[in-house]
Structure 1
């Protein structure tokens, strides 16, 4: 079932009311599914449209749309997803990529995915120029940060691509935020931390990243084991830092970025970045010198 001609029109922003927020997302919804479902729900709420409006614009029943918005029941086919998201005026390319990744997460086979996509005509739709320039500028530092926690290039590239697709979906909201760099960084960080290895207390586990450092490869003397142990202790201390301090430390000491670039990546002023780095150094030194680092 293809959407009616009116479905391709973006929703009106001139309404005084807002639609009621959909019921909560089902607890069993996976991270890749949430990656596209959360921006869709946010767009519905801010657009002022109701479920009845989506029914009229998409041609699907309220029950099926409600299930889609909750992530409830079977994973939705692309035709249904496209009809609802097109009615909201959301861009198709990033949604299709996110939907495909989530379909794999839901254990849908390649034949099912391909058949679903073939039911909907492909549309040529490029990203905003400002968005494209933003992504090109920050792709490399985002990738290195993600690799520090996720260890492999494919996993890091996947999370960065997911982040940029979500950012495209939310570009109007991001552009209206106080600092788009800060908005995008928090988005990337949240996607990385969803997949990062964790200690039992919930803090990120960076121990495996030790073996990807230059120091780990360069040390070949009898003190090799001691050097690696010290690096592990250092990385453990870094993961005990508050979020901003940990991010500055990872970008600086693991990824090798200079202060001025870290400031740009994180969306912090240079003065604040230096202050955060100073506090991070002091906290790490305290943790390393404590009788029990885990405390």
Structure 2
């Protein structure tokens, strides 16, 4: 009888990832890594730098995993960790006072990465209606500046 949970069946961990991670954390990483990487590549055009930032974010998420799971919205907290990690790797300008950086993130996820509102809601840990409304507001704000 074979044990499907043996380490031989699992892919080796990425650089900086702990070797023995909970299944839920591995699934979370599998689900969010492509989207997180796409987001990071907008800010960090060098693929290796983006991959490093995402890897560091997942390492921090792993450290806080148990606490995240007891929070009301683990996905939103994980997104904040990613945003903070990517910001540490960039020299972003301070946004205009009437502009919220999270709205810029929504625009990036929608217009650059190509995610629909439900997918964005899944990535950042919020509801679809909120994402759709904030995207409309961002689009109107941009249109008024033209």
TM bracket (short chain): 0.7 to 0.9
Q: Distance in 1 between matches of 2:34 and 2:118?
A: 15
Distance 1:198 1:143 in 2: 18
- 1:167 is aligned to 2:61: yes
Using the size of structure 2 for normalisation, the TM-score is 0.82
Counterpart of 1:272?
130
Q: Does structure 1 residue 248 correspond to structure 2 residue 142?
A: no
SS in 1 for 2:91: coil
- Aligned counterpart for 1:193 among listed residues 68, 72, 87: 87
Larger Rg: 1 or 2? 1
- Match in the other structure for 1:156: 50
> Which among 261, 270, 276 is matched to residue 119 of structure 2?
261
Once the two structures are superposed, what CA deviation does each residue of 1:222-250 show, in whole Å capped at 9, x if it has no partner?
Answer: xxxxxxxxxxxxxxx9xx83122111100
What is the CA distance between 1:125 and its match in structure 2? 4.8
How far 1:257 sits from its partner (Å)?
A: 1.2
Q: Which runs of 4+ in 1 moved over 6 A?
A: none
Once the two structures are superposed, residues 266-290 of structure 1 have per-residue CA deviations (whole angstroms, 9 ceiling, x without a partner) of: 1110111111111111111123x2x
- Does residue 1:284 correspond to 2:142, yes or no? yes
Q: Distance in 1 between matches of 2:20 and 2:49?
A: 25
- Superposed CA offset, 1:158-215 (max 9, x none): 000001111111111111111111010000000111112334xx34xxxxxxxxxxxx
Is the contact between residue 76 and residue 126 of structure 2 (CA under 8 Å) also seen in structure 1?
Answer: yes
Whether contact under 8 Å (2:16, 2:55) holds in the other structure is no
Q: Per the alignment, in what secondary structure is the counterpart of residue 114 of structure 2?
A: coil
Structure 2 residue runs without a partner (length 5+) = 1-12
Contact 1:147 1:156 (8 Å CA) reproduced: yes
Paired residue total? 133
Name the CA distance, whole Å, in 1 between partners of 2:42 and 2:125. Answer: 20
- C-alpha separation between the residues in 1 aligned to 2:86 and 2:121? 19
TM-score between both structures, scaled by the size of structure 1: 0.42
RMSD: 2.3
